[in-house]
Amino acid sequence: MTTPRILDGNAIATQIKAEVAAEVRQLSGQGVRPGLAAVLVGHVPASEIYVRNKVRTSEQLGLYSDLITPPDTVTTEEMLDLIAALNAREDIDGILIQLPLPKQVDAKRLLEAVAPEKDVDGFHPVNVGRLQTGQPALSPCTPAGMIEILKRSHLPIAGQNAVVLGRSDIVGKPISILLLQENATVTICHSKTRDLASFTRKADILVAAIGRPGYVTPDMVKPGATILDVGINRITTREEFDQYFAGDKKREEAFLLKGSTIVGDVHPAAFRHAGAYTPVPGGVGPLTIAMLMSNTVRAAKLRRGL
Q: Please report, as a single letter, which amino acid is at residue 41.
A: V
The 206-225 contact track toward ligand NDP, x by CB under 6 A, reads ---xxxx-------------
Question: Is 17 tagged catalytic?
Answer: no
- 8 A C-beta contact, residue 172 and residue 164: yes
CB neighbours of residue 278 within 10 Å? 32
> Binding string, 223-252, against ligand NDP, x = CB under 6 A?
-------xxxx-------------------
CB atoms within 10 A of CB 63: 23
- The stretch among 41-49, 54-62, 85-93, 204-212 that binds ligand NDP (CB under 6 A) is 204-212
Binding mask 258-297 for ligand NDP (x = CB under 6 A): --------------------------xx--x---------
Output 194 or 249, the one with its CB closest to ligand NDP.
Answer: 194
Q: Taking the mean position of all CA atoms in its chain, how far away is CA 274?
A: 22
Residue of 17, 54, 118, 173 marked active site: 54
Residue selected from 55, 170, 178, 221 as contacting ligand NDP according to rule CB under 6 A: 170
Of 17, 93, 98, 119, catalytic: 98
Question: Is 91 assigned a catalytic role?
Answer: no
Cβ-based nearer residue to ligand NDP, 160 or 176: 176
* Measured distance CA(113)–CA(50) in Å, rounded: 22
Among 191, 198, 236, 237, binds ligand NDP (CB under 6 A): 191
Task: Choose among 170, 35, 161, 164: nearest CA to 98.
Answer: 170
**Binding residues among 10-49 for ligand NDP as defined by CB under 6 A:** none
Q: Which positions are catalytic?
A: 54, 98, 121
Provide the binding-site residues for ligand NDP, judged by CB under 6 A. 142, 165-168, 170-172, 189-193, 196, 209-212, 230-233, 284-285, 288
